[in-house]
Amino acid sequence: MLHTQAGKGSVGGLDRGTLALLAVAAAVVTWGWSNVAIKAVSVTGLVASFWRLWIAIPVLWATALLTPAVRAGLGRRWLVGSLVGGLLFGVHQWLFFSSLKATSVSDVSIIGSLQPVLVLFVAGPMFGERVGPAALAWSVLALLGTALVVIGGHGLPGWSAHGDLLAAGNLFAFTTYFLASKRIREDVGATAYVVGMTTVSGIVIAAVCFATGQDVSSPRPSDWPSLVGLALVSGTLGHVLLNWAHPHASAFVVSILLLGVPVLATAGAAVFLGEVPSAMQVVGGALVLLSIGFIVSSTRGRVAEELAESAAETDAP
């Protein structure tokens, strides 16, 4: 599963493997911060999602139009892929941002971390590889850990059953988006796909905002630094850093590092939002993260790569 070329070459005296780990660490920090920022802004989840997308869209299109190789990829397959991926990503954005506003950051983060478990049961049959008993056992433990997180959060500040249901819906929505994107990316370039998919999802969220009477002009002056940061730092730079790091580090190492996102998000929520997790939630969260790490390491072949990549995408806004 390890990339044999990972780490070769150097930049500024540092080998590319070290730089890749630093890039992933930076992405971890931006994504851990983003969950807290979404909860902290005064606007609804839909309005926050609207601005996360529409601040980024002009920047993405400027990049695409100034890059001949990207412009050349804006064809029919790109359009179809962008429509499918954008619709699915829009649903994910809607549920993800709304769940963070409705329930605790720790619940949303840990429930979202179950994504590799869902991918496990799809990736095996998809690539003709058998899922081993060890991976199945760790999956059960991950589900048990999630149950402890949800039960342990009952009655704590910021918790709601409705929000947990939204987070569970987001888990399935993002997993569907992730698997569909894997297929779409076989025919569409990465940058072109991000541009098209983000644009379509922005239109989807704008339509939902209009249909539900959301006030997109509601952000306060104090909200704009966070909204711009969500769009350009965690939502754009974080993905650029991760995608740059992939060829220079093993998928397994990247996926394990990305499991730090829910840890940072939960710690940040405790410090800045007063959402201190219960002892049961801490134990449950630890079980989930350990289980996901062992699930990735106990599988082989292309399934392991899919699980590692899905873990790396978890909690990415």
Query: What one-character-per-residue DSSP string does 15-83 give?
Result: EHHHHHHHHHHHHHHHHHHHHHHHHHSSS-HHHHHHHHHHHHHHHHHHHHHT-HHHHHT-SHHHHHHHH
**Phi/psi at 30 (5° precision):** -65, -40
Q: What is the pLDDT of residue 198?
A: 93
**Phi/psi at 225 (5° precision):** -55, -40
In the chain, the amino acid numbered 261 is: V
Query: The tokens of 295 are what?
Result: 């699930």
Q: What is the pLDDT of residue 6?
A: 46
Instruction: Determine the distance from the C-alpha atom of residue 196 to the mean position of all C-alpha atoms in its chain, rounded to a whole number.
Output: 18
Distance separating alpha carbons of residues 175 and 168, to the nearest angstrom: 11
In the chain, the amino acid numbered 212 is: T
The pTM is what?
Answer: 0.85
C-alpha distance from residue 156 to each of 46, 226, 275 (Å): 24, 25, 8
Distance separating alpha carbons of residues 317 and 299, to the nearest angstrom: 27
Provide the phi-psi class of 96: left if phi over 0, else alpha when psi is between -120 and 50, else beta: alpha
Helices (H), the chain: 16-40, 45-65, 68-72, 76-102, 105-112, 115-126, 133-153, 161-184, 190-211, 224-229, 238-245, 251-258, 260-272, 279-298, 301-313
Query: The tokens of 157 are what?
Result: 């500040």
Q: What is the pLDDT of residue 202?
A: 97
| Contact indicator for 226, 40 with CB cutoff of 8 Å | yes
Q: What is the pLDDT of residue 257?
A: 81
User: Among 256, 178, 260, which residue's Cα sits nearest to residue 2?
Assistant: 256
User: Among 143, 106, 118, which residue's Cα sits nearest to residue 277?
Assistant: 106
Provide the phi-psi class of 74: left if phi over 0, else alpha when psi is between -120 and 50, else beta: beta
Low-confidence residues of the chain: pLDDT under 50 = 1-7
Query: The tokens of 142 are what?
Result: 């991950």
Distance separating alpha carbons of residues 64 and 79, to the nearest angstrom: 14
Residue boundaries of the structural domains of the chain: 14-313
Q: What is the pLDDT of residue 300?
A: 64
Question: In a 3-state reduction of DSSP, which class is residue 9?
Answer: coil
Distance separating alpha carbons of residues 253 and 7, to the nearest angstrom: 12
| Contact indicator for 134, 274 with CB cutoff of 8 Å | no
